[in-house]
Amino acid sequence: MGRIAVLIWKELIELKEDRDLFGIVILAPILQLFMLGYAATTDVRDVPVVVADADRSVASRALVARFDASPNFTIVDVVTSPNEVDPYLERGRAWIALAIPPGYGEALGRATPQALQVIADGSDANSTNVAIGYATNLIAGYAQALGARLPAGSVTPGIEPRVRVWFNSRLDSRDFMIPGVLALLLLVITTNLSSMGIVREKEVGTLEQLNVTPLRRWELIVGKLLPYALVGMVDVCLVLAVAVLWFQVPLRGSVTLLFALTLVYLMSTLGLGLFVSTISSTQQQAMMTTIFFFLMPMIYLSGFIFPIENMPAVIQPLTYLLPLRYYLVILRSIFLKGVGLETLWPDALALAAWGIAILSLAVARSTKRAA
């Protein structure tokens, strides 16, 4: 037992002395979360609009003013003919163009319904959808206000939808993204530490030295991984503090459960790093393998940004192989829903199984090898 403690102590000292590494694994995550927390917003604001006002009447200017006043839109320019909007869309100076036909004001005065063209830049399909939605909403509200002033027949009341959003009433995408960023940061940092740390000793030759010490295999592995787990937990504390105190992401569930399940998660990530180290002979190989075979698939297929339920049926079963998938569900549930183990036990179990499996595989591989 004392032997492991010595090894852990050695690892921690080495880590502390490598000032660069220390800074990177402790300070950089905070910086990253800070930046990425602010980046993660799907709320579309200040959409640049170019208006082709062929009417130039009081009514058309009133409509343009409506757009200008809305926080969702910024009027980039007002031109006269619809043909003039082409360069704006091509150069990306505007995302949508609003075309007001000549005679708009007059038709409005006679209460004749008319349709306005909204030309959209479809190369950014996501934002375009949202922008068109905003424009439609704005015009619908404007039309309603206009209609209310006219002595038209009253509209019969019908079925009114009342929407209530659970867990995230502001529909703040930040509350959804920040736990995801935390999970990803942990993954990147701890797999790097464990995969590179061990291969480096292989490359430099100090692994041989450790081999001739009276340390047994499992003691060596535990002694190597435990300091990294410690680093991971410190990172979690720091990132959690920023998330809750600065970004005010609600943390409705049990913090203890969060830490406990994070430890289980770390078992998977560190085990993964260890496994990669057993199949790589140089640090370059370890890095490439970690990034391309594990980190990249996880960022795309784990449900971090792209919902798993949207993926084709053949791909969805593959996502069960990713520990990040389970940890994301766990994190987001603890943050946003405040649920406990009684709901999360399937994911927790899967995470634990994954961790044990990969660690066993890694240990088995490292014991069979001669060096």
Partner 1 sequence: MRKTLAVARKELRQIVRDRRTLVILLVLPVFFLLLYGYALNWDIRHVRIAVDDRDHSAESRSLVSAFVNSGYFDLVAAADDRTIRALLDRSEVRAILIIPSGLGRAVRTARPIAVQVLLNGDNANTATTVMSYALTIVRSESARYQPTAAQPLVSVEPRIWYNPELRSTLFLVPGLIAYITMITAVVSTALSIVREKERGTMEQVRMAPIDAGPFVVGKTIPYFAISLVSALGIVIAAMALFGMPMRGSWLVLLLALSLFLIGALGIGLFISSVADTQQVAFQAAMLASFLPTFMLSGFIFPISSMPPFLQVVTYAVPARYFLRALRAIVLKGTGIETVWPDLAALVGFALAVLTLAAVRLRRQWR
Backbone angles phi, psi at 149, to 5 degrees: -80, -15
DSSP state of 318: G
DSSP state of 311: S
How far apart, in whole angstroms, are the C-alpha atoms of residue 168 and residue 249?
A: 10
How far apart, in whole angstroms, are the C-alpha atoms of residue 268 and residue 353?
A: 9
Three-state secondary structure call for residue 100 = strand
How far apart, in whole angstroms, are the C-alpha atoms of residue 51 and residue 74?
A: 11
Binding partner 1 (rule: CB under 8 A), the pick from 5, 13, 16, 43 is 43
The interface with partner 1 within residues 255-284 (CB under 8 A) comprises 282-284
Binding partner 1 (rule: CB under 8 A), the pick from 9, 41, 218, 360 is 41
Binding partner 1 (rule: CB under 8 A), the pick from 20, 83, 151, 369 is 20
Quickly tell me which residue has 């002694």 as its tokens: 223
Q: How big is the chain by its Cα radius of gyration, in Å?
A: 28
- Least distance between partner 1 and beta carbon 367 (Å): 23
- Least distance between partner 1 and beta carbon 214 (Å): 27
Binding partner 1 (rule: CB under 8 A), the pick from 117, 209, 360, 367 is 117
Only one of the segments 233-241, 248-256, 269-277, 325-333 lies at the binding site for partner 1 (rule: CB under 8 A); that segment is: 325-333
- Least distance between partner 1 and beta carbon 2 (Å): 28
If we measure between CA atoms, which residue out of 243, 338, 187 comes closest to residue 40? Answer: 243
Binding partner 1 (rule: CB under 8 A), the pick from 6, 62, 65, 171 is 171
Considering the rule CB under 8 A, would residue 127 count as an interface residue with partner 1? yes
How far apart, in whole angstroms, are the C-alpha atoms of residue 90 and residue 84?
A: 11
- Least distance between partner 1 and beta carbon 176 (Å): 5
Identity of the residue, 123 or 211, whose beta carbon is nearer to partner 1 in the bound complex: 123
Only one of the segments 230-238, 270-278, 304-312, 360-368 lies at the binding site for partner 1 (rule: CB under 8 A); that segment is: 304-312
